[in-house]
């Protein structure tokens, strides 16, 4: 193949000689040594220099709602109606989910019936107590009569004994007959029998009084038991009726429905989430911050937050630093409260920038960066061995740029300090193009 190319070149030279393109009187070697004149391009050169800037670390995080609630119920029942959809705005107290509470209503009715039955039992026990108290009062009143009878019988016995003693004395004096003495003895015995009878009645009365008191105590205990049953039944009504509000789930605060976990006809069970509501007017950014930087962050610090899709920085304020870090990543969670912006939503990607000292960077004017497709480059003026009449030739350098600060841009790779680059390069420039630097400035 090399021989073929050489043959073609020789033929071309011969043809040029035949056609008279090679000037008469000049050899072929002289013609080849004559350089072709390349026009100079006038450019403006600027110096690249190293500057000290604050080292800024960009930390990414996720936007979350400060208040979020997963709504669930304490009931088991079918979902009958959901008047909202995901994305709907809601206000505090607005009904969001309706659940069938017919079984709870039945339980409430049964509990109310139990209260009525228990109350009827209380009335019966109270009536029995009243009767027992009346019986005890009657027995107590009979004591007075027995006391009077016993006093009368004991007085009669005392008198009979006096009469018998006097009769016995008179009988010893033959003043009365034996029949009179026997009659006196009989009167004493009758009086003793009467006292014994009254005392027996008194013992029977005491037993009756004890029974009456026991009946009163039993009746009162029955009243207490039935009243306790009423209290328990009423508590049951309270428990059942307290479940009724859970048949309607309401928004706990102003916000928006962000997730819907059930649909009409699904079975709601205790603890199962039905809807999720976020307070979209109060958002914060969660940022995992390296431990070397967390000491520079303080509660109340103001930080601008960049959020994709939101024009301009969002004002943020650090309101919480979780004091426990992640032992795997050695980071601490920093929460930044965000000002309200239309379109700012939970789940968005945000960034904060934290200063962490100073470092040296290279800067060039933004106008010195030449874009060709996806490549960014600058043209460096090489002043070593410049062509005649030229300041030097340009060398294209592919660069990697960083932050933009005003009219300057940081060059992170592909360029050295203390060189001259072309400002506002045009398509006339290519690697090796001779240039004449008309003015050289600094930035």
Residue 358 scores a pLDDT above 80? no
Least confident of 29-38, 39-48, 169-178, 182-191: 29-38
Cross-strand pairs, 393: 382, 434
Cross-strand pairs, 351: 60, 306
Please say whether the beta carbons of 352 and 58 come within 8 A: yes
Please say whether the beta carbons of 118 and 229 come within 8 A: yes
Which tens digit of pLDDT belongs to each residue from 386-427? 888 788 888 888 888 888 888 888 888 888 888 888 888 888
* Helix pair angle (102-172, 178-243), 10° resolution: 170
Which tens digit of pLDDT belongs to each residue from 304-325? 999 988 888 999 999 998 988 8
Quote the CA–CA distance of 116 and 123 in Å, as a whole number: 11
Residue 12 scores a pLDDT above 60? no
- More reliable by pLDDT, 278 or 443: 278
Residue 56 scores a pLDDT above 50? yes
Residue 57 scores a pLDDT above 60? yes
Average pLDDT of the chain is: 82
Best CA proximity match to 415, nearest among 362, 370, 360: 362
Helix or strand (DSSP H, E) at 347: none
Of the pLDDT bands very low, low, confident and very high (cuts 50, 70, 90), residue 442 is: low
Residue 139 scores a pLDDT above 90? no
Report DSSP state, residue 430.
-
Least confident of 30-39, 45-54, 217-226: 30-39
- Residue % of the chain over a pLDDT of 70: 89
Which tens digit of pLDDT belongs to each residue from 67-109? 999 999 888 889 999 999 998 999 999 999 999 888 877 877 8
* Residue 252: predicted pLDDT: 93
Best CA proximity match to 96, nearest among 73, 76, 65, 64: 73
Q: Torsion-angle region of residue 284: left (phi > 0), alpha (psi -120 to 50) or beta?
A: beta
Which tens digit of pLDDT belongs to each residue from 153-200? 889 889 989 988 998 888 888 888 888 888 988 988 998 898 898 888
* Residue 15: predicted pLDDT: 36
* Residue 24: predicted pLDDT: 42
* Residue 2: predicted pLDDT: 36
pTM of the entire predicted model: 0.51
């Amino acid at each position: 193949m090399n021989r073929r190319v050489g043959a073609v070149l020789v033929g071309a030279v011969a043809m040029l000689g035949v056609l008279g393109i090679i000037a008469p009187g000049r050899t072929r070697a002289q013609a080849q040594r004559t350089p072709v004149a390349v026009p100079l391009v006038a450019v403006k050169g600027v110096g690249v220099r190293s500057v000290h800037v604050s080292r800024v670390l960009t930390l990414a995080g996720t936007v979350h709602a400060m208040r979020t609630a997963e709504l669930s119920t304490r009931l088991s029942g079918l979902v009958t109606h959901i008047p909202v959809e995901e994305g709907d705005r809601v206000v505090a107290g607005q009904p969001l989910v309706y659940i069938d509470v017919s079984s709870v209503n039945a339980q409430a009715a049964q509990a109310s019936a139990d209260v009525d039955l228990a109350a009827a039992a209380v009335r019966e026990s109270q009536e029995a107590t009243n009767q027992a108290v009346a019986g005890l009062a009657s027995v107590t009143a009979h004591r007075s009569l027995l006391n009077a009878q016993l006093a009368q019988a004991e007085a009669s016995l005392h008198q009979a004994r006096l009469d018998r003693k006097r009769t016995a004395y008179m009988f010893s004096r033959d003043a009365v007959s034996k029949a009179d003495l026997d009659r006196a003895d009989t009167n004493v015995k009758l009086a003793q029998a009467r006292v014994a009878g009254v005392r027996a009645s008194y013992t029977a009365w005491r037993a009756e009084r004890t029974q009456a008191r026991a009946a009163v105590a039993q009746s009162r205990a029955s009243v207490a038991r039935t009243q306790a049953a009423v209290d328990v039944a009423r508590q049951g009504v309270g428990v059942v009726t307290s479940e009724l509000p859970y048949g309607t789930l309401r928004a706990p605060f102003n916000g928006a429905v962000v997730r819907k976990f059930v649909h009409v006809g699904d079975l709601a069970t205790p603890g199962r989430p039905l809807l999720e509501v976020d307070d979209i007017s109060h958002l914060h950014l969660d940022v995992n911050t390296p431990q070397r930087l967390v000491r520079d962050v303080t509660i109340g610090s103001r930080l601008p937050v960049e959020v994709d899709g939101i024009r301009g920085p969002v004002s943020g304020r650090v309101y919480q630093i979780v004091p426990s870090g992640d032992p795997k990543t050695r980071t601490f969670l920093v929460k930044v409260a965000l000002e309200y912006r239309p379109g700012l939503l939970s789940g968005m990607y945000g960034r904060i920038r934290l200063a962490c000292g100073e470092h040296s960077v290279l800067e060039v004017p933004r106008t010195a960066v030449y874009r060709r497709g996806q490549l960014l480059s600058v043209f460096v003026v090489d002043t070593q061995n410049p062509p005649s009449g030229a300041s030097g030739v340009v060398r294209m350098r592919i660069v990697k740029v960083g932050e933009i600060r005003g009219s300057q841009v940081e060059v992170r790779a592909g360029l050295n300090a203390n060189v001259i680059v072309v400002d506002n390069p045009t398509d006339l420039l290519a690697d090796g193009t001779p240039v004449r630097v008309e003015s050289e400035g600094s930035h």
